[in-house]
């Protein structure tokens, strides 16, 4: 074994970051992965239209919108997973 300096007894200090508020964090995350908020908005829009159709008695349109909501949720989930994969690849 090579003799050298022993490791320091105290751990190295952690880096400090500026405090980030909700608005700044939301905007940063939206810039990093813009498809997730878009998918969320689509999901909410389709859900609202489906509920409106249901209350008006248009059951056929309501069922169609609930199926579209499932597709929009799937898109949002895929965008979230894709963003996580991209972030993991970037960090390497």
CB 42 within 8 A of CB 75: yes
Residue of 37, 38, 41, 59 whose CA lies nearest to 50: 59
Place of tokens 């992965």: 33
- Residue-wise pLDDT for 4-30, tens only, equals 787 767 777 777 778 889 999 999 889
What are the backbone dihedrals phi and psi of residue 71, each rounded to the nearest 5 degrees, phi first?
A: -65, -40
pLDDT at 1 (0 to 100):
53
Mean per-residue pLDDT pooled into runs of 10, the chain (92 residues): 72 77 90 92 97 96 97 96 91 80
User: Which pTM was predicted?
Assistant: 0.72
pLDDT at 19 (0 to 100):
87
């Amino acid at each position: 074994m090579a003799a050298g300096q022993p490791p320091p007894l105290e751990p190295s200090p952690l880096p400090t970051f500026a405090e980030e508020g909700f608005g700044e964090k939301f905007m940063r995350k939206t810039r990093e992965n813009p498809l997730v908020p878009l998918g969320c908005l689509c999901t909410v829009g389709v859900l609202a239209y489906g509920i409106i159709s249901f209350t008006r008695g248009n059951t056929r349109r309501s069922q169609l919108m609930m199926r579209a909501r499932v597709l929009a949720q799937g898109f949002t989930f895929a965008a979230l997973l894709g963003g996580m994969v991209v972030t993991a690849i970037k960090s390497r």
